[in-house]
Amino acid sequence: MKTSLAPCSFSCENLQRSVFTSFNLDKGLARLNPEQTRAVLHSSGPMLVLAGAGSGKTGVLTLRVARLVRGEGVDPSEILAVTFTNKAASEMKARLRTLIGPEATQCEVSTFHSWCLKMLRFYGHHLGFSRRFVIYDPKDCEGLATRLLGKRYSAPEIKDFLRQVDRWKNDGLWPEQVSGPMSDAYAHYQTRLRQEQAVDFGDMLLLVVQLLTHFPAVRDKIRSRARFLLVDEYQDTNQAQFQLVGLLADHGPRNIFVVGDEDQSIFAFRGADIANILSFEQQFPGGEVVRLESNYRSVAPILQSAGQMVAHNVQRLGKTMHPTRLYDETKQGVRVLRVPGPWAELDRMAQVVSHELVGVLPCEVAVISRTNRKLRMAEERLRARGVRCRVIGSVGFYDRKEIKDCLALLRVAIEPHDDAAFSRSFLLMKGFGKAALEGVADEAIRADCSLWDAASRIMGEGRGARGLGAKLKTFTDLILGASSLAPGTPPLFVLEQLFDSAGMAEQMDRQAKGRAARQANVMALRDVVSRLEAPTWREAISEWLDKVSLDPAQEEREDTVSILTAHKAKGLEFQVVCVLGWTQGEFPHFNSIPDDLEEERRLGYVAMTRAKDRLYLISAQTDQRGDPLPLSQFAAEAGL
């Protein structure tokens, strides 16, 4: 009689993995302080974790999930953890894999927008969307608004209109819920988005709120996959996200676990509402509040100065951060550097950075500014000294023209009714100008249809300006040729066929300046596309385009000094930080005094608490005209 060893082998492998992950979980739990332990071991019901800067909130979140799965026996597929950046989501996923093994993949760890996109792909048909709806980025939205409103609004007015639409959507408002001179344009804009089977970033949240509000069966299905809801950076939620969280959590024992810090609420300009975190106990009566007040990042002088400053705010739930690191007062701490003028400010910053790089890795040094204005000047000054540096938040890989052109070709091949991709791709063709595109756009407006359908009407009826029909046939044949490729065709072959047929190589060669960089970028894109995997090329490219639309940022190099705004610095940490513009009127910014002074103070707190060992606050005594500049009021508030 033969005995199979396979089941035993498999069982031993599982046992070994279980022992390993249990060891990691126990080890992680053993390292927690009492407040962190209380948060992680919380069983059910609402909980707010007030996590100060550097207090280990990511560890608490991931250990909380691991404890639910391993300690409480919760089905990992019933856990939803949402945050604001793909970087944070990826870090949580990696930690969970270490703590609970393969079961981590069953937990839904995602950004708000990525999760909402997933729900719309599943349930959007209830709202009239096909599974192949497209995501419009800000440039696409601008193009759509221009096509709709360009004859009534100037280019600056269209930008103002889109900013207002974004504010309305952040506040959870549809066209029928607003009034004013732009309300009709908002309704027209939304109607056109729906006709083009497109959504913008704000739509993703509001549409899922609609699903949860108006479709009880869908709501029950979604809630069953979010029985335990965890929200990171709760202080950054806007009203649409607040509504979404409320709808998801408002059932059963209300197992909602939110982590945030009201002292780091700095995104009001994006619609973030600090009232959401301040009112947590009113929204979820009976909820517990835990304060994480041990800081594992900054030495005492940095932490005490920042804490003393932000304590001047009224909009706080209140906490006192305590340093856990020992420090050497001869090598660590805070320095305010007053210099004669703005150029001396940049020179002093460059001197400080150059001096610090003698004993500190470049990736551990950051230059932070309140506004974008000084970033490039700081970069130039550092490069003049031979310092390798990078401006974080500059033009990203997927925002470069040649890359956006390639993406537009792929998008229109997958969904020909994507007007934004149609427009951009059409203008890539040699000899195809704006006048020809306007002819198609006029027909689309008259017939109330997509550009693709308008092109078909023009060709079918033989209308349009001289030569337009022939151009449209050339273009549509190109797109149909790619669309008809066999499902198993490699994604790279699809890209190359479109690239070659559109004559992009020739176009890129026309301008000598930057040619090598453009060619290198396209080669890098080809490398990315060559590694896409899915049963069909449409699925592979569609999934990838969704990811690119939601998170176009590329991984930054780590062998350089970082130059960034205080807003971009949120969530980062460095051994050494230089803050530029520590003057009244710049930090705090004069536009924010007095109405938004508390948010400015929180922004200053974020900038200061990025530093682990040394913090330099650099302030010019005069402006370019020689007029005196007072030191920032934050210096006195911080006791400096």
Which residues are part of the catalytic machinery? 57-58, 232-233, 264, 610
Closest CA to 587 of 565, 609, 570, 568: 565
Q: Count Cα neighbours of 472 within 13 Å in the Cβ-side half-sphere.
A: 27
Distance CA 577, CA 374 (A): 15
Closest CA to 58 of 347, 314, 260, 334: 260
Query: Residue 615's beta-bridge partner residues?
Result: 334, 577
Distance CA 43, CA 46 (A): 10
Distance CA 16, CA 465 (A): 73
> CA 270: distance to chain centroid?
12
Instruction: Match 């540096």 to its residue by tokens.
Output: 389
Count, in order, helices (H) and strands (E) of the chain.
Answer: 28, 16
> Do 430 and 503 contact (CB within 8 A), yes or no?
yes
C-alpha distances in angstroms, 394 versus 521, 559, 568?
A: 16, 17, 11
DSSP at 250: S
> CA 143: distance to chain centroid?
22
Closest CA to 248 of 135, 128, 116: 116
Closest CA to 537 of 493, 495, 491, 498: 491
Distance CA 450, CA 195 (A): 7
Q: Count Cα neighbours of 81 within 13 Å in the Cβ-side half-sphere.
A: 26
Residue 299 has phi, psi (to 5 degrees) of -75, 165
DSSP per position, 38-85: HHHT--SS-EEEEE-TTS-HHHHHHHHHHHHHHTS---GGGEEEEES-
619 three-class SS: strand
C-alpha distances in angstroms, 583 versus 18, 267, 565, 580?
A: 56, 22, 16, 9
Which residues have CB under 8 Å from 223's CB, separation 6+? 248, 251
Structure tokens that stand for 509 in this block: 């060669």
Residue 378 is which amino acid?
A
First-residue to last-residue Cα distance in the chain: 84
Neighbours of 311 (CB within 10 A): 16
> Do 331 and 527 contact (CB within 8 A), yes or no?
no
Instruction: Match 């953890």 to its residue by tokens.
Output: 81
Q: Where are the alpha helices (DSSP H) in 392-531?
A: 401-414, 419-426, 434-447, 451-461, 468-483, 491-501, 504-510, 515-530
Distance CA 228, CA 147 (A): 44
